[in-house]
Structure formats: C-alpha cells, structure tokens
Amino acid sequence: MIPKFPAFAISTTLFLTFAGCATAPVIHSSGDNSAKFSSAQTFALLPVSIDPSVPPAEAPALTEAAQDGARDALRTLAYSETSLTNADLVFYLHGKIMAPAAVADWGYLPNPSKFGIGSAEVAASAGRRVFVEAYDNHSKRQVWMGWLECTCRKVKPEGIQNEIQQIVATFPPRAKS
C-alpha cells in the first residue's frame, strides 16, 4: 500500500515556499515589444528605500534581501551587474515595504499603463504589491514591468527576496552571443 501524502504537508510546503503568504502569488509581467532586449547585457539597480513604517532595525536586512533577489534572478538570466552609468538596463524595486522613489528625478520615463496597470492603481496597491520595473538606460524609457500581490502578514527578508526573484524570473533572458 502506498501512503498518501497528507494535505497538510502540501499546504505547509507551499506556506514555507512563499515565506508567509497564504496562497501562491500570481505574477503579472509585460514587456515593451519594441524594446531591444537582445542587445542588453548589463544591469544596475536603483537604490532601495524601506518604508518608514518598518522598524529601523529590520530595514537593512529587507533592503539587502530585495536587492539580492533581483541580482540573483538577473544573473540567472545571464545579465551582468555594472554601475548605474554603464548599465544597459536599470531596475527599480518598490511596493509593499519598499518606499517609492521619484524615478523621473533620475531621468527615467515611467509608463505603467503601457504594461496594463495605471499609475493610480500602482500607488493605491503599493502596500500589498511588489513591483519591479525595468528601464532602458540609454533611452530612459520603461521597457518592462512585473508585479505580484501577496497576502503576507509579516514581511521577512527571505519572503521579499523570493517574491522579487519570482517576478524577475519572468523578465526576458539575455540573448546568447
């Protein structure tokens, strides 16, 4: 007789996999069809700021985890990290516990409606969604956006790192030379 895998073990595994989320998040991502992802080889991350409502002692670990999640996923997709000045692509992480930044002040041209979500919805849902935006560093225009919504009660470093990795994993891989 083959033992049945208990249902609670499946739900526990999913719970641990998504680090505190009640259900597996649905990942939304969309790219600009006119973007030349095939020529991109390098990336940089805009600085991540943690929302002031997060206890200051937790902020450094959350910042590091968010950035590590993006770096790990982008390296898996064969992109190399470089300075902001030299990067082909620049990634902006925000939402949930990450405070918004005025990317326009950096010269980037956000256009979330091109990717199926309006600016007002981004702002209104920032407390429950994690967003990753990609910008062509040469033209400064937004070329990709991904996000997920999760019902996590408490954000832990491994949870935010996992969420960002899942989002970035949907970004187009670097073209082989």
Average pLDDT over residues 4-27: 49
Task: Dig out the tokens for 163 from the structure.
Answer: 């969420």
| pLDDT tens readout for residues 104-142 | 999 999 999 999 999 999 999 999 999 999 999 999 999
Residue corresponding to tokens 């409502």 = 53
Give the domains, in start order, of the chain with CATH numbers: 7-168 (3.30.160)
91/77 Cα distance (integer angstroms): 14
Q: Is the pLDDT of residue 13 over 60?
A: no
DSSP 108-147: -B--GGGGT--HHHHHHHTTTEEEEEEEETTT-BEEEEEE
Identity (one letter) of the amino acid at 167?
A: I
